[in-house]
Structure 1
Amino acid sequence: MASFLSDLFPFLYAACFLALLWQAFRIMGQGFSAVPRPGDPQSAGGAGPAAADRTGRLTIHPELLDADGQLTREDLLTVRFSEDQDASARPGEAG
């Protein structure tokens, strides 16, 4: 029985290796096909390459919204590190 398993192990190992390799290439192929390239036909749901252009659009981060979905009016804290070369005034200092 032990001889049978030791003879069978390389085949099982190779079969698992090939299955995992095939799966990896299949998943990578899905990732590559998700990126639009110049000259690719337009997708049925989108409006083409112009729809992906966000030039001039305003992005509001969810952290800036209150519980009602409106921009928060409270003061926001900022952090400055000593390496910063920007010499702007601190709050409460005249400038």
Structure 2
Amino acid sequence: MIGSLFPLIYGALFVALLWQAFRVMGKGFRAASGPIGDSPSDRTGQVTVHPELLDSDGRITEEALLTVRFGSDDDEASTATGPDTE
């Protein structure tokens, strides 16, 4: 009895998992094919600020922040002034 049901149960589970995998991959392909740079709106409608950017009074700090730039960054408009690395 169990021996005859095993292939049916196995096949049903295989089809269900295959269907779920295609659903998940479809969501990923739809997200990847969307416009770049348009992030979905925040569900609260508010701008999220990291706590590290706030001073002791809860306002965004005005002090200079440490940033990291990589060699492939070609954005010359936002280069920071600093010591030459040549």
TM score, norm. by length of structure 2? 0.46
Q: Rg: which structure is higher?
A: 1
- State TM-score, norm by structure 1: 0.43
